[in-house]
Amino acid sequence: MTSKRLRVRSWNVNGLRAVADKGFAEWLRASRAHVVGLQETRALPEQVPAELRAPRGWKTHFVAAERKGYSGVGLYAKRGFDEIVTSLGDAAMDAEGRVQIARFGKLWVANVYFPNGSGKDRSNDRVPFKLSFYRRLFDTLQPLRAKGGRVLVMGDFNTAPEAIDLARPKSNEKTSGFLLEERDEVRRWASAGWTDTYRHFHPSKEGAYSWWSQRFGVREKNVGWRIDLVLASEGALPFVQGASIHPDVLGSDHCPVGVELDATVLD
């Protein structure tokens, strides 16, 4: 690593093929990132445009859902992956293509697209699956975290942790993404030693959102939610030097989020 800092970015692109036509390649170059995790890619690897499937200077890895045009995650890295895991050991969860857990030297990066609990007709019938997914991932990562491993968990968590993390908390208390049981699960991760990096550096910043409804004027009015997070284990946190949200980046209903770390986190 030539830079003294390691820049890590996460972005739910709401369709990699769609964002390819909205300046994604230009953003990727301008980001100066070393690791980029994408969620909701919605494409088989062979469906990704060639210039994004293997851009010059990047190593890439994609995981697709069995259901076409649904879910999916992708990783771009300036250095090769030393190890990568894509299974949580649960067939139903693995079929949705939501997880990449990659090792770069001593740093583990979990790129994750957490399920939405809304379900059919916003009935919240997917909440049990969503919570089971959270717990399964927690248990998968727990051995790494518990022995002091340097681990980042980044992606679209589909949950706003606290009232400060969405513009209209009162009117969304029965909406998946801000249900008490969902927030309690995020708090359980925090109690176990995971740190929400953005709140670590910006504990009281209001209006900091990463997702907006696509209804007309909503993003312009900044009526949003902060549901895209980067969590750091105790072993990784001392290396984290900053956390950011990039609402000026368009092309998706989400915007990128990220962290900067001391590059010695890899050594």
Instruction: Kindly report the backbone phi and psi dihedral angles of residue 90, in degrees, each rounded to the nearest multiple of 5, phi listed first.
Output: -130, 120
- Strands of the chain (E only): list them: 5-12, 35-39, 59-63, 73-77, 83-85, 99-104, 107-113, 150-156, 195-196, 211-212, 224-225, 228-232, 240-245, 257-262
- Rounded-to-integer distance, Cα 232 and Cα 195, Å: 5
How many helices (H) and strands (E) the chain has is answered by 7, 14
Task: Judge whether 156 counts as a catalytic residue.
Answer: yes
Q: Provide the sign of the torsion angle of the four alpha carbons 238, 242, 247, 248, taken in this order.
A: negative
Q: Which amino acid is at 206?
A: E
Strands 240-245 and 257-262: antiparallel
Q: What token pair was written down for 187?
A: 């708090």
Kindly name the residue from 90, 139, 156, 196 that is annotated as catalytic. 156
- So which residues are the catalytic ones? 156
